[in-house]
Amino acid sequence: MVSSNDPIDADHHHHHQHHIPHATADETVTLLGSSGSGSSSRSSSTASSSSSRGSSRRYGVVGFMLAFVVLSSSAFVFLMYQQQQQGGGTTVINSIPSSTVMVDTATTVGVTAKPLVMNKNLNKIHFIGRWWKNESDGSMEHSWGVGTFIVRMKGSTKLIMSMKSPDFQADDPGAYYTCRVNGVDHQIHQIHNEDVEVASDLAPNMEHIIRCGRNNEASYGPTIIYGVKIEENGELLQAVDPNAHNTMLRFEAIGDSIAAGFKVTAKSAYEPATIANQDVFQSYVRSMADAWKTEDWNVIAKSGISILDYDGKTGVVMSKEWVCRQFWDTWQGSCPTLWDFSTWQADVVTINLGTNDEVFGDPTQQQFREGYLNFLHNVRTNYPNALIACIEPLLHSCKVTEKLDGIVNGMEQAVTDMQDPKVIYYKTGSHANQWLGCDTSDYVDSNTHPTVEGHAKFAARLLEEVTKDVRTFFPEKCGGSGSSCETGPPSPTMTPSPTPAPAPIASPTDGNSCVAIPQDQLPDGTFATTDSQCAPCSTGQAYWPCDTPDKTWGLCRCSDNN
């Protein structure tokens, strides 16, 4: 999602100059390119060491002492150079061409570096999100975020990923990835089409778990993983699904550029949008996942996307993108392959859309109502048991127009139309009670895209509203109290009020059965549901997808079997 003052969408925001995102105290930003000062510093250090050893052999004790001074000075200069390059946490590391035999240049003198061995058994890597297998070469591929992959290994001091990232800009190739090593260290790697050192200086006698995810949205292009390289005698272990016992919430965030972390690390509104200053891991989505104590989350988001096509210029609207396993654009004609929703079922879905409909479109309240309702049907059909949280556009707190009022009112009406207790509309403040301060440092540009601090504030306020409903519907996954979840049932002091069941429109009739009408028998723009969703209609369910005296969905067909 982009603002009217910053009209940059995924089709052309790739062509801006490169910027390095800032590093926090516990993060290292690692840029991987074809050349860099890291390799030259290592070369000069190695050369100095060799020269010093030669001097000590030629000139005896005096020469040895002189060499020691030289070596110490070289080491000091090298350390000062490294400190200067790090700049408070930023390390520049040279990339490693896949055709070379890789050795550890940081190995202590006298210790032989171990050769690296390629392992293409990707079944031992655990993948979270919309990954799929390329049957032609066995690689794994994804485009929708976050695209998490988890590697578990032992007996190796480093991990090299053989992978490919988007290449859309000559001076800034590759996507950015945030990695967590053994649950502690955070690194951001810019990966192109090379072997990349993701973790190093690991204890060889210990087991290590490395978890990485992509910072950047799907429209930049796919990520492909071919295999991993670890040291000889190292072992690639079977990575474990952190949610194997289904004790964590399964969380999916659907949205536009705000959910994608667009320009989140930009220093000002004048800084162009780049792949470097976009970071979903510094968005409100990440904060909500952390508060809910879940590692099983993903993001389906694209900058500039909307509910309705604005004058034929929007490309592909979210209702058509979301069902696809990968991002696709208008030149492709249609979705290459639909996603199989049976492989993963969300517990909680947040939908943060509508801002681009206001910024670029001109829908009436009724048009937006119908478009949003259609998308809700689609989400409910594919996630029949999820809590669907519909988020009011944050822009509405800072901008009051007839068009935006119509969009917000249409959204709220669509939620009401669903007559589904697990589809809930959430306001995000008002002009008098702003969650984020309008025209303040909470936004990087025109009250549209939050800064890192703005995202944190947005998440905190959303969590206050949404978590109580999450706890109501999923008490086994969200215990405790307040805005965060704890494992286990709610504490005794927290007894959520039960959601009243909708009043049936008629008494249950024995012998009735209801089934879903097939997709090919439905009108265009209407999405089929499932037999299991239609079954309760036979016992008087009075909300979607069952027809009522007030609303006819036309999704189920009921018959009397007596």
| CA atoms lying within 13 Å on the CB side of residue 325 | 17
State the Cα–Cα distance between residues 548 and 541, nearest whole angstrom.
9
What sections of 426-511 are H helices per DSSP? 452-473
Q: How far apart are CA 542 and CA 379, in angstroms?
A: 19
Under 8 Å between Cβ of 264 and 282: yes
> What local confidence, expressed as pLDDT, does residue 192 receive?
75
Report whether 217 contacts 302 (CB < 8 A). yes
Per-residue model confidence (pLDDT) at position 93? 28
Looking at the DSSP bridge assignments, the partners of residue 230 are 117
- d(C-alpha 143, C-alpha 195), whole Å: 19
Q: What is the DSSP letter of 504?
A: P
Angle between helices 284-291 and 452-473 (to 10 degrees): 40
Please report the pLDDT score of residue 41 as a whole number: 33
Compute the distance between CA of residue 171 and CA of residue 419 in angstroms, rounded to an integer.
51
Same fold, 114-237 and 251-473: no
Q: How far apart are CA 122 and CA 124, in angstroms?
A: 5
Q: Take residue 234 and report the two structure tokens written for it.
A: 């190292």
Q: Which residues pair with 132 in a beta bridge?
A: 141
Cβ neighbours for 397, distance < 8 A, ≥ 6 positions apart: 428, 429, 430, 431, 433, 434, 435, 436, 438
Report the alpha-carbon distance of residue 96 to residue 159 in Å, rounded: 13
pLDDT value of position 172: 66
C-alpha–C-alpha distance, residues 230 and 151, integer Å: 11
Angle between helices 365-382 and 402-418 (to 10 degrees): 40
Going by C-beta distance under 8 Å and a sequence separation of 6 or more, which residues neighbour residue 246?
A: none
pLDDT at residue number 169? 59
CA–CA gap between residue 497 and residue 469 (Å, rounded): 10
pLDDT of residue 52: 36
> Which CATH class name applies to 114-237?
mainly beta
Tens-digit pLDDT string for the chain (562 aa): 444 334 333 333 333 333 333 333 333 333 322 233 333 333 333 333 333 333 333 333 333 333 333 334 333 333 233 333 333 332 222 232 222 222 233 333 344 568 999 999 999 999 999 999 999 999 999 999 899 999 999 999 999 999 998 876 566 678 899 999 998 867 788 877 788 899 999 999 999 999 999 999 999 999 999 999 999 999 999 999 999 999 999 999 999 999 999 999 999 999 999 999 999 999 999 999 999 999 999 999 999 999 999 877 667 899 999 999 999 988 888 999 999 999 999 999 999 999 999 999 999 999 999 999 999 999 999 999 999 999 999 999 999 899 999 999 999 999 999 999 999 999 999 989 999 999 999 999 889 999 999 999 999 999 999 999 999 999 999 999 999 999 744 444 333 434 343 333 333 334 568 988 887 787 765 667 778 778 878 887 766 778 876 667 788 899 865 4
Query: Can you read off the two tokens belonging to residue 471?
Result: 């706890």
CB atoms within 10 A of CB 401: 11
Q: Where are the domains of the chain?
A: 37-94, 114-237, 251-473, 512-560
What integer pLDDT is reported at residue 42 of this predicted model? 31
pLDDT for the residue 284: 98
Report the top-level CATH class of 251-473. alpha beta
Residue 282 pLDDT: 96
228, 230, 235, 236 alpha-carbon torsion, rounded to 10°: -20
**How far apart are alpha carbons 321 and 60 in whole angstroms?**
73
> In this predicted structure, what is the pLDDT of residue 314?
67
